[in-house]
Amino acid sequence: MQMWESLAVIFFLIYIYRKIRERLSGWDMMEEKQAEKDEDRSAAVKRGKHIEQIVPIFDPNFRGKQSVRFLGSPIDYVVFDENGEVTFIEVKTGQSTLSRRQARIKEAIENGRVYWRTVRVK
């Protein structure tokens, strides 16, 4: 192989090496960005869970309620009023929406598909 051919092969290999490094660094950046998004989402979920538990202290919907029970999942609160009314409350933060399960529960309540059962254990 002549010197010019050897130089051409060397420059070609350098070019390929740089392209591979460029692409790999792009993937690294994409992975870092995804990891940051995941961390942000995780932090938002944790913040939401903490807020769910302290809402009764600040929200007027809970003031004067004698019997507020925190469930946490799938619905955050059940409120039992003195007049016999039962209210289910789901706390949401930011842009969050009801999960499918929560939406089905809400629909069941709104359509009157809620029942009472007493279970006796011997």
As a three-state string, the secondary structure of the chain is CCHHHHHHHHHHHHHHHHHHHHHHHHHHHHHHHHHHHHHHHHHHHHHHHHHHHHHHHHCHHHCCCCEEEECCCCCCEEEECCCCCEEEECCCCCCCCCCHHHHHHHHHHHCCCCCCCCCCCC
pLDDT bucket at 66, cuts 50 / 70 / 90: low
Q: What is the pLDDT of residues 36-60, one digit of tens each?
A: 777 777 777 777 776 777 777 667 7
Is residue 118 a part of any domain in this protein? Answer: no
Q: Per-residue pLDDT averaged across 81-96, rounded?
A: 83
Is residue 122 a part of any domain in this protein? Answer: no
pLDDT of residue 76: 85
Report how many domains make up the chain.
Answer: 1
Is residue 119 a part of any domain in this protein? Answer: no
Is residue 116 a part of any domain in this protein? Answer: no
Q: Per-residue pLDDT averaged across 68-96, rounded?
A: 83
pLDDT of residue 43: 76
Is residue 98 a part of any domain in this protein? Answer: yes
Which range marks the domain in which residue 47 is found? Answer: 3-110
Q: Which range among 6-10, 81-85, 87-91 shows the weakest confidence by mean pLDDT?
A: 6-10
Checking if the pLDDT of 68 tops 90, the result is no
